[in-house]
Amino acid sequence: MRFVQLTHEVLSELKAQGYTALHSPSLLVNDNPTWVPVKVDLGELFDLDNEMLERISRPAHKQHFLVIDDALQNIREEDLIGSVWV
């Protein structure tokens, strides 16, 4: 396993392997995050109520979370940042 630059090609490969999102332990202020692919049921994630999200979110420690489909459809190649553990 190794880190590779985040690109649409890498995102497409991860999607084909069943991954739905990327999570980064890097804080939002980091402009070069490291990403870890995850398999998340996005329906369940987006159905969480606001109270639960508030409990698990800590504003000073917000982390990067990227939905692969959204990134492929809405983020230009040159705007993708960071490296992915593959």
Could you please report the per-residue DSSP string of 50-69? HHHHHHH--GGG-EEEEEHH
Residue 3 has a pLDDT of 96
| 74, two tokens | 């809405």
CA-to-CA separations, 22 to 8, 43, 44, in angstroms, rounded: 13, 16, 16
Contacts of 42 (CB under 8 A, 6+ apart): 20, 21, 67
Domain count of the chain? 1
Domain encompassing residue 17: 3-85
Look at residue 29 in the predicted model and tell me its pLDDT. Answer: 76
- pLDDT surpasses 60 at 60: no
Tell me the average pLDDT across 15-31: 88
> pTM, whole model, 2 decimals?
0.79
